[in-house]
Amino acid sequence: MTVKAMYQQAGFSYLGNVNHSRKMAKGKTFDVMTYSVYLASSDSSGYNVCPMANVFCKNACLNYSGHGRYNRTQKARIRKTRLFFENRDLFMKILFHEIAYFKKRAAKKGLSFAVRFNATSDINLKQLKLDGLNVLEQFPDIQFYDYTKVYKYLFLANEYENLDMTFSYSGENWNECENALQNGFRVSAIFEKELPETFKGYPVIDGDQYDMRYFDPNDVIVGLRVKKVSSKELNQFNENPFFVPYNHPDRVNLETV
């Protein structure tokens, strides 16, 4: 099947793209081109791509920010997600084609290349398989990275040298977060207002400066600020555990240090 025929059968013109978000575009400062895929988050497509999603993160998901505000974007993401579940072979052929294509394009520009598959999903990368090889095995010289709320997914990074994983704090999973930190991983958390100096005794770094978490140290909290799409949710849920409020007893704010 030709590349053109693959896209015609799939019903879209591309599966993923490079430097999709402003934060990924900041990778140019590091001479990095990042390829990512945006699927329909949680179970919004009729299939669940976020096993640990809850009502708080569903409503605040960045799937609905930026271009995600538009119905046409959501419809496209739903088509792609359904293709993953209903025609995995075609999905994987397109994915592998695009990764190889953008890797070559990055090389021509003199840039290094990275892949973050789960931009708005939380799929086990071992499921991304074609002809007996998963995506990490097919492209061992490419840097992959992801965030996850599924604790066991973290340890894929111990199996594959080309994968970096960051665990996500949901407000309800601190025990797993602490285990992750003690096992040499970092944890991301979303904070109201400015980032604190520390959270639960761990130093907080600014995770909004760039997206490539593999440049970060381990054993830290990657601080993310509440974005516009989730600000409404912060107002609607006075006790929303997904966000760390400014007056949380376990955060040490800069002005109190």
198-199 and 202-206 as β-strands: parallel, antiparallel, unpaired? antiparallel
- Segment (H or E) for 208: none
Rounded to 10°, the helix 88-108/71-86 angle is 120
Mean per-residue pLDDT pooled into runs of 10, the chain (257 residues): 94 88 62 94 89 70 53 87 97 98 96 96 97 97 97 97 96 94 96 92 95 95 78 51 85 69
> How many domains is the chain built from?
1
Single pTM value for the model = 0.89
| DSSP state, residue 34 | E
- Integer angstrom CA distances of residue 37 from 19, 20, 95: 10, 9, 9
Name the token pair of 25: 């575009």
Is residue 16 within 8 Å of 35, Cβ to Cβ? yes
**End-to-end alpha carbon distance in the chain:** 62
Alpha helical stretches, state H, the chain: 3-10, 22-25, 55-60, 71-86, 88-108, 135-138, 156-159, 174-182, 228-236
Domain of residue 163 covers 3-256
Specify the pLDDT at position 256.
54
How far is the C-alpha of 125 from the C-alpha of 115, rounded, in Å?
11
* 3-class secondary-structure state, position 48: coil
Specify the pLDDT at position 236.
47
